Chain A
């Protein structure tokens, strides 16, 4: 009996032998990772005044359950806004955002599910943020181009005299003769020129000058129009859409969602400030004057008065600097984690996620952005 059992146990051990399976590797081919360079900036590189603060909470699916928003006609083509790219040959027309974005409709349809409305609002707000950034950048580029054109115009007009034709108001010639006054007039820019000159009479020797003047002035006007378009029709309209959209949600459910401010009246001391130390490793001051839409107007939130607290400024895992802090208001406490970046045209920015803890216990996710102008054109080190 025991021999039989022993025999079974031996065989059982043989039968229960197993082997470890082969070590394997899955197929792999990766794009080379882009390393995020940690910036070394000095506090001296940037102004202390904050150019803009944006604090925005997204309404969530529950908030949007019964919400819909009809689009006003003026916003219909906002995402499809185009510009002339002055840095490309021939100044081609391009979308500020993309062709894909141009096909999207703003507004919130009642046919969407609450989660879809949430995703749509986040998409629209961020996309308009990108659009405004793009418009801001192109505005600055266009203004640079305007400056160049203006400089060329100044040079052109510098050497020119315009001789009024006698008894013909508004008519001028570039060369004095028996039909013109002896003394010529100078114009400094296109505006002066167009205000005075209705007709410029030219001959073969001066027609090219007239063409140059007209071309330069047209280019300048076109650039001016683009700047105006970008500021009012894109940048301003984009902000208007987001404000009105979130205002509509706020009225629907009675919760504040948006705070945004530019640096205000510099004649007073009440302007938002962010001061970096000279070595760029410490935030020495953070003061925000913002109106959180609680009907109390602008209020100060600072390290000094304790309404900004738990501030940390450190190098994150990515190598980029991270600014974390809490801001305590009468409506909510917002906790933020903002990544620092320095980019052409945008200068110094802190952008990242924000979590809003409302006094009634509700929590909303959102974003925060702090923007600071560069103090000089000096290069910074990486």
Chain B
């Protein structure tokens, strides 16, 4: 069964982690804070995980990796011990079964609700330079269940019968057939699947924005982002895990360009690239391409996560503090590369399987700010409130479910 790394994609909202791509929150913009002005904003991101785009761009259930045909062929491929493989082959000889003969299929169901709260403190150091820090707090609620559907009772009973000479093996076979995922997890030293509610720190982000150019009609800002590995890394012994971060440092650079054809209309574009630096990490190393379940652990896997690139185009209209905007984003992440020396080379390639990601998304936002009223001394506090909703229109190896975000900012 594949580890649900794609679930971590849900957490890659602002300042959470740069490991994977997800729907954007808010609209891009080429703005910095005036000198001496600070703001404290709270971003809240709400997401539910039910479906994803698989490696072929098809929409599948989040639990799709749990659905595994319990054919003799798959059982053999998913068995790493040659002695056990020999026992399975002998059992096939005894009952006259071929590799395509199947007992049924393993099933699963995964539901995920996630809320990410990101306090961001930004400070206009100069009229052109703004620095910010974002500290994401992630709350997740995960429900997971696995099951099995037997659709070949005669083969099942035949095998049980033929194992009559060894009652312990009869029992072992039935245990494995009745709870294939749970038994495999136990055999390989994973923790048992269980529902979990968790609150954790994500990867802290340090941001600097520098306005390189500005006039009445245009503005260009270059942004540098440093993502620190402060989030909880994945637990090797959990097959479904929602880590707070990927445990490595990233550096991103983006260029934002705003065009103001009218004083109420802003057309924005952004090009960005994030480099995920290579590092070493302990990983479970799958011996079979068909499943990420494995008993093998290498404490020193060389990891090079794929870099992230994106292009966004947005338009926003603002009048009397009210704003409405829309954005289209195209994002791409390169495949992750893993190498090591403890096991066969091809096994390490299995870790990086299905890690190339692509996403096309539309974001719609609405906002209101009291800045102009504050300037006119008609409102005591300069603040803004916005809500955005991102819809994933196409993708590959990314969560499909929409993301809703609230952003509250106060200036002082």
Please classify the interface of chain A as helix (H, G, I), strand (E, B), loop, or mixed, using the class held by over half of its residues. Answer: mixed
In Å, the complex CA distance between A346 and B166 comes to: 12
Interface 9-mer from B13-21, B152-160, B224-232: B152-160
| Docked-complex contact A123 and B93, CB < 8 angstroms | yes
User: CB of A92 within 8 A of chain B?
Assistant: no
User: CB of A8 within 8 A of chain B?
Assistant: yes
Q: With contacts A98-B95, A351-B165 known, is A21 near B48, CB below 8 A?
A: yes
Q: With contacts A11-B42, A26-B145 known, is A118 near B86, CB below 8 A?
A: yes
Shortest A353–chain B CB gap in Å is 9
Query: Which residues of chain A are near B94, meaning CB under 8 Å?
Result: 97-98, 101, 127, 130
Q: Considering the complex, which residues of chain B in the window 152-211 have a beta carbon less than 8 Å from any beta carbon of chain A?
A: 153, 156-157, 160, 164-171, 174, 177-178, 195, 197
User: CB of B245 within 8 A of chain A?
Assistant: no
In Å, the complex CA distance between A318 and B173 comes to: 11
Interface string of B107-128 (1 = CB under 8 A from A): 1111111110101000000000
In Å, the complex CA distance between A119 and B77 comes to: 12
Which of B86, B141, B165 makes the CB contact (< 8 A) with A19? B141
Interface string of A51-66 (1 = CB under 8 A from B): 0000000101100000
In Å, the complex CA distance between A129 and B162 comes to: 13
Interface string of A342-358 (1 = CB under 8 A from B): 01001001011000000
| Docked-complex contact A122 and B164, CB < 8 angstroms | no
Shortest A116–chain B CB gap in Å is 7
Interface 9-mer from A27-35, A189-197, A216-224: A27-35
Shortest B105–chain A CB gap in Å is 9
| Docked-complex contact B93 and A98, CB < 8 angstroms | yes
| Docked-complex contact B89 and A4, CB < 8 angstroms | no
| Docked-complex contact B171 and A341, CB < 8 angstroms | no
| Docked-complex contact B165 and A104, CB < 8 angstroms | no
In Å, the complex CA distance between A79 and B115 comes to: 61
User: CB of A23 within 8 A of chain B?
Assistant: yes
Interface string of A307-318 (1 = CB under 8 A from B): 000000000111
Q: With contacts A12-B42, A352-B166, A365-B83 known, is A27 near B147, CB below 8 A?
A: yes
Shortest A238–chain B CB gap in Å is 13
Query: Which residues of chain B are near A339, meaning CB under 8 Å?
Result: 166-169
Query: Which residues of chain B are near A349, meaning CB under 8 Å?
Result: 165
Q: With contacts A98-B96, A130-B93 known, is A120 near B86, CB below 8 A?
A: yes
User: CB of A25 within 8 A of chain B?
Assistant: yes
| Docked-complex contact B148 and A30, CB < 8 angstroms | yes
User: CB of A276 within 8 A of chain B?
Assistant: no
| Docked-complex contact A119 and B165, CB < 8 angstroms | no
In Å, the complex CA distance between A24 and B240 comes to: 15
| Docked-complex contact B143 and A21, CB < 8 angstroms | yes
User: CB of B97 within 8 A of chain A?
Assistant: yes
| Docked-complex contact A341 and B149, CB < 8 angstroms | no
User: CB of B146 within 8 A of chain A?
Assistant: yes
Q: Considering the complex, which residues of chain A in the window 336-376 have a beta carbon less than 8 Å from any beta carbon of chain B?
A: 337, 339-341, 343, 346, 349, 351-352, 365
User: CB of A296 within 8 A of chain B?
Assistant: no
| Docked-complex contact A126 and B90, CB < 8 angstroms | yes
User: CB of B137 within 8 A of chain A?
Assistant: yes
Interface string of B54-91 (1 = CB under 8 A from A): 00000000010010000000000000001101110110
Interface string of B36-56 (1 = CB under 8 A from A): 000010111010100000000
Query: Which residues of chain B are near A340, meaning CB under 8 Å?
Result: 167
Query: Which residues of chain B are near A23, meaning CB under 8 Å?
Result: 143, 195
| Docked-complex contact B97 and A20, CB < 8 angstroms | no
Task: Name the residue of chain B whose CB is nearest to the CB of A318.
Answer: B171
User: CB of A320 within 8 A of chain B?
Assistant: yes
Which of B42, B114, B165 makes the CB contact (< 8 A) with A133? B165
In Å, the complex CA distance between A24 and B62 comes to: 13
User: CB of A36 within 8 A of chain B?
Assistant: yes
Which of B44, B98, B110, B170 makes the CB contact (< 8 A) with A15? B44
User: CB of B342 within 8 A of chain A?
Assistant: no
User: CB of A121 within 8 A of chain B?
Assistant: yes
| Docked-complex contact A8 and B85, CB < 8 angstroms | no
How many A-B contacts at CB < 8 Å in the complex?
194
User: CB of A111 within 8 A of chain B?
Assistant: no
User: CB of B142 within 8 A of chain A?
Assistant: yes
Q: With contacts A15-B44, A123-B93 known, is A34 near B165, CB below 8 A?
A: no
User: CB of A99 within 8 A of chain B?
Assistant: yes
* Most chain A beta-carbon neighbours within 10 Å: one of B40, B42, B168: B168
In Å, the complex CA distance between A101 and B95 comes to: 9
User: CB of A305 within 8 A of chain B?
Assistant: no
Query: Which residues of chain A are near B111, meaning CB under 8 Å?
Result: 21-22, 24
Query: Which residues of chain B are near A337, meaning CB under 8 Å?
Result: 168
Interface string of B329-370 (1 = CB under 8 A from A): 000000000000000000000000000000000000000000
| Docked-complex contact B143 and A100, CB < 8 angstroms | no
Q: With contacts A33-B178, A127-B93, A339-B168 known, is A61 near B381, CB below 8 A?
A: no
| Docked-complex contact B410 and A8, CB < 8 angstroms | yes
Shortest A363–chain B CB gap in Å is 12
Task: Name the residue of chain A whose CB is nearest to the CB of B43.
Answer: A15
| Docked-complex contact B107 and A27, CB < 8 angstroms | yes
| Docked-complex contact A100 and B166, CB < 8 angstroms | no
User: CB of A91 within 8 A of chain B?
Assistant: no
Which of B90, B92, B114, B157 makes the CB contact (< 8 A) with A122? B90
Query: Which residues of chain B are near A60, meaning CB under 8 Å?
Result: 82
* Most chain B beta-carbon neighbours within 10 Å: one of A30, A31, A61: A31
| Docked-complex contact A12 and B117, CB < 8 angstroms | yes
User: CB of A16 within 8 A of chain B?
Assistant: yes
| Docked-complex contact A100 and B92, CB < 8 angstroms | yes
In Å, the complex CA distance between A28 and B182 comes to: 14
Interface string of A179-214 (1 = CB under 8 A from B): 000000000000000000000000000000000000
Query: Which residues of chain A are near B177, meaning CB under 8 Å?
Result: 31
User: CB of B2 within 8 A of chain A?
Assistant: no
Q: With contacts A127-B94, A318-B168 known, is A21 near B112, CB below 8 A?
A: yes
In Å, the complex CA distance between A60 and B98 comes to: 25
In Å, the complex CA distance between A336 and B110 comes to: 42
Interface string of A97-135 (1 = CB under 8 A from B): 111110010000000000110111111011101100100
5 closest A-B pairs by beta carbon, nearest first, are A122-B86, A15-B44, A98-B96, A320-B167, A318-B171
Between A and B, 26 residue pairs with Cβ closer than 8 Å are: A12-B117, A14-B44, A15-B44, A15-B117, A15-B408, A16-B139, A20-B113, A21-B48, A24-B111, A25-B145, A26-B63, A29-B104, A58-B83, A101-B93, A101-B94, A104-B93, A115-B82, A118-B86, A119-B85, A123-B87, A123-B89, A126-B90, A130-B90, A133-B165, A337-B168, A340-B167
Further 6 A-B residue pairs, CB within 8 A, beyond A14-B44, A130-B94:
A18-B114, A26-B107, A29-B151, A122-B85, A341-B164, A341-B167
Q: Which residues of B contact A (CB under 8 A)?
A: 40, 42-44, 46, 48, 63, 66, 82-83, 85-87, 89-90, 92-98, 104, 107-115, 117, 119, 137, 139, 141-151, 153, 156-157, 160, 164-171, 174, 177-178, 195, 197, 381, 406, 408, 410, 412
